[in-house]
Amino acid sequence: MPRVDRIAEPWGSRTPYGPGETWPTRVDSYLAGGLTEDDVDRWVQSATILHSNGDGLDIAVKDGRIVGVRGREVDRVNHGRLGPKDLFGWQANNSPDRLTKPLIRENERLVETDWDTAMNAVVGRAKELLEEQGPSAISFYTTGQLFLEEYYTLGLIAHGGIGTNHVDGNTRLCTATAAAALKETFASDGQPGSYTDVDHADVIALYGHNMAETQTVLWTRVLDRLAGQNPPKVICVDPRLTPVARAATVHLAPRPGTNVMLMNALLHEIIRNGWIDRAYVDAHTVGFDELEKQVADYSPEVAAEVCDVPADQIREAARILGSAERLLSTVLQGFYQSHQATAAAVQVNNINVVRGMLGKPGCGVLQMNGQPTAQNTREAGADGDLPAFRNWSNDSHIQELAKVWNIEPMQIPHYAPPTHAMQMFRYAEEGSVRFMYVTATNPAVSLPELERIRAILAQERLFLVVQDIFLSETAHLADVVLPAATWGEKTGTFTNVDRTVHLSEKAVEPPGEARADLDILIDFAHRLGLKDKDGQPLVKWSDPEGAFEGWKECSRGRPCDYSAMTYDKLRGGSGIQWPCTDEHPDGTERIYTDGQFWSEPSYCESYGRDLVTGAPVSETEYKALNPTGNAVIKAAEYLPPHELPSEDYPFQLITGRTLYHFHTRTKTARAPQLQAAAPEVWVEMSASDAADRSFAEGDLLEVSTPRGRVQARLRISGVRPGVLFLPFHYGYWDEPGEHEPAGTEGRAANELTITEWDPASKQPIFKTAAAQATRLESTSGVPSSAPTTTGSRPVTGSVPETRGGTAAEAVETLAAEEIR
């Protein structure tokens, strides 16, 4: 096979196929140092962890070290393909700066210690606070990168053992709205779509979802459909001219913060033209009349004024959506991290529901995840919700869970909704949360308004525990740092967005004294003395498979039912989609077939929330609305964003991801190919805005908001006029001796973002901040004073690639390495 530079060509070569055909296989692999497959000692089954797609792969091991990866040809998700982060990201495992011993703070410095000393400090402080204040003093902030078994153990410890309601994860920042939107429409989490819907759809609509960069292998599947016979039409909603937008039949680029207005206009046209499945709506839904009334006044002309999108484009997009025979809709951060996030994502559900396009090949909704195991945080209760999609406001669900855990129901906190991350940090700021246990995440870079977050984490009264594989910006602020094993160094399962469960086997030993997260959590529970009502240890397992068996029983009979799944069944072949039951022992490809939902009042996970206030709907209200368990069509009124551009801050700032990095780069920046592809933060501006200010490609700009300032080189791109884009990945860990920004020298996008969240999903809003941009230095190196702000005009000229020229030059030497 010819050599391919998978940095320059991240989606690889095309294997075209047509509607209803099986996606052809293409096995991608990468081995370091010129090794061949004959040099590999053994291959170990796993799946990918640096995005949410869940690509099956095998890990290459030689001399006790990971030396490469190879896609699993038999896996239903990727058919052998791997993306750039899959191919290269594993190199972070072998980084020489891995944490290998526990650290404890002494005299304002972190020093190495032994495990007993570290755990005694953690458990000792937790016991003191439980005695002094009770469970409300204790909080857990986790990730989307652990394994299901670890999340379930964490949820059991926090909810069933300690009894705290303060449990959430960084999934609150990326896909809380996915869960919220599904719960609003279907009263339960669980994706009503499958990746195989790409194989059948005649229209694929992507709402705020730059699939080409966030799920590269899934986009490869779409590209192969587009290259085959009878390709699908593509609708893209995104203010940037992304690779998805370039491939789109219609690209709608609304002003940030106006997604609900746009969605209501699309629904207006679909309903006005009769492009609905009336029989399906009448038989399987409630709420259509309210939707029809709400969108009646949202004509394309009204939306065009608010969204700054031509009315004819809105009509054409609606026509394509309304005439689709098989419609697949996907949603991600462009909606989830924007104003009225849940309301907008729910309207996407509404389009598929009113068109009757669920539970059939090519017909589905994927409210996408951003992290590899984000789905498991929600399933297992590590995001604050109760395990197995149980309803915290349904007493029978509490009693059922207490029986599974062999504890008294009142030990499980259910007196109020779970504490979401933003509220948890506010409680820490106010002093009521005094113990925070952070696992595998870096809030000192990823949360909004970082100056405030650093101040919260640095408080002397807050006891901060960080469990991670590197000394991140957050770990630098900790009282105790616990060195963890990572992917490839431990065993566990994880689930992707289309409900496919993979087993990831331990391939190598972790470095030094690092331990698996599961082992650390079990040790914590035992040292804390957590018991069930019979006086036996609350956590009854000692290894991953034991935890998985415990989880299976917890999930039995619930929507995310794993009861017929085993480690042995997951070995050797493809991942398996839940529900996996005795009735469906090989898994379930599609849910909600024949209009059957998990929304019956006594069974559902949630009764829903008010989309404007976020107030929970009561059990009585829900039973009156939906007594027989139909899909809920929930309408939404458009409301303008709270922070709008002004004379001082004339731009709207949005943040997001790049193809080559993941989160705060703690792993991807340690993979040479990925770091070389995107070594520095940049800011994108439209050609017209740059011309108005006499800015040139590569100028050093200062981007400011009322909360902070960031310096970044300019890329002139296809972002819509009036909008700036900053990737959020860049922090400070790789600046020697620098762990906090000084003055205007910050480069973390979240120095600028606002402390505000969606009322229903509680997801922070990263995409509507008012901002200014001034030039500090031109490409010639000459300092420049700030120009006068002027108006904008339409984008003209060519749009550069997402990867800068200097990055392309940096990876030329790496391109010669063979990607098979």
Domain assignment present for residue 575? The answer is no
The answer to whether residue 405 sits within a structural domain is no
| β-strand pairing of 250-252 with 708-717 | unpaired
pLDDT score of 808: 31
Q: Is the pLDDT of residue 192 over 50?
A: yes
Half-sphere exposure of 56 (CA within 13 A, CB side): 24
809 pLDDT higher than 50: no
pLDDT at 25: 98
In the structure encoding, which two tokens stand for residue 665, read together?
A: 């780069």
Query: In a 10 Å sphere around its CB, with 0-12 CB exposed, 13-18 middle and 19+ buried, how is residue 314 labelled?
Result: buried
Determine the pLDDT at residue 663: 87
Look at residue 2 and tell me whether its pLDDT is greater than 80: no
Round to the nearest angstrom and report the end-to-end CA distance of the chain.
7
Is 466 contained in some domain? Answer: no
Q: Strands 167-169, 435-439: parallel, antiparallel or unpaired by DSSP?
A: unpaired
Same structural domain, 616 and 657: no
**Residue among 642, 613, 553 nearest 156 (CA):** 553
pLDDT at position 734 is 60
pLDDT digits (tens, 9 = 90+) for 699-709: 999 999 999 99
633/185 Cα distance (integer angstroms): 6
Beta strand 769-777 with 651-656: parallel, antiparallel or unpaired? antiparallel
Instruction: Give the burial string for 211-228 (b: 16+ CB within 10 Å, else e).
Output: bbbbbbbbbbbbbbbeeb
Chain segment 355-411, per-residue pLDDT in tens: 999 999 999 999 999 898 999 999 999 998 999 999 999 999 999 999 999 999 999
Averaged pLDDT for residues 743-771: 86
Q: Rounded CA gap, 309 and 295, in Å?
A: 17
Domain presence at residue 637: no
Do 627 and 693 belong together in one domain? no
- What is the reported pLDDT for 784? 54
**pLDDT score recorded for residue 415:** 87
How confident is residue 732, by pLDDT bands cut at 50, 70 and 90? Answer: confident
- Provide the pairing of β-strand 700-705 with 576-577: unpaired
Give yes or no for residue 811 having a pLDDT over 70. Answer: no
pLDDT (mean) for 310-335: 97
Same domain, 684 and 782: yes
241 and 344 share a domain? yes
728 and 665 in one domain?
yes
Same domain, 612 and 733: no
- Residue numbers of the domain that contains 348: 176-368+599-632
Same domain, 239 and 207: yes
For the stretch 87-114, pLDDT in tens is 999 999 999 999 999 999 999 999 999 9
Kindly state whether residue 513 falls inside one of the protein's structural domains.
no
CATH number of the CATH domain containing 282: 3.40.228.10
For 191, phi and psi rounded to 5 degrees? Answer: -80, 120
> Is the pLDDT assigned to residue 810 strictly greater than 90?
no
CATH number of the domain enclosing 89? 2.20.25.90
Least Cα distance to 776 among 709, 685, 687, 679 occurs for 709
* Token digits of residue 426: 């506010």
Q: Are residues 88 and 196 in the same domain?
A: no
What mean pLDDT do residues 773-778 have? 95
Say whether both 319 and 229 belong to one domain. Answer: yes
pLDDT band at 473 (very low <50, low <70, confident <90, very high): very high
CA–CA separation, 750 and 727 (whole Å): 10
Going by DSSP bridges, is the β-strand pair 631-632/285-286 parallel, antiparallel, or unpaired? parallel
Count up the domains in the chain and report the number: 3
CA distances from 438 to 102, 139, 157, 341 (A): 15, 9, 14, 26
In a domain, 217, yes or no: yes
Looking at residue 72, its pLDDT comes to: 98
What beta strand segments (E) does 410-476 contain?
435-439, 463-468
Structure tokens, 427: 């409680």
Q: What are the beta bridge partners of residue 390? A: 386
Query: Do residues 87 and 204 share a domain?
Result: no
For residue 739, the one-letter residue type is H
Answer yes or no: are the C-beta atoms of 448 and 766 closer than 8 Å: yes
247 within a domain of the structure (yes/no): yes
The pTM assigned to this predicted structure is 0.93
Query: What is the domain-level CATH number for residue 692?
Result: 2.40.40.20
pLDDT at 65: 97
**Could you tell me if 278 and 193 lie in one domain?**
yes
- Largest Cα–Cα distance in the chain? 74
Residue 726 in domain? yes
Same domain as 354, residue 240: yes
Place of tokens 């790789």: 734
Tell whether the model's pLDDT for residue 24 goes beyond 50.
yes
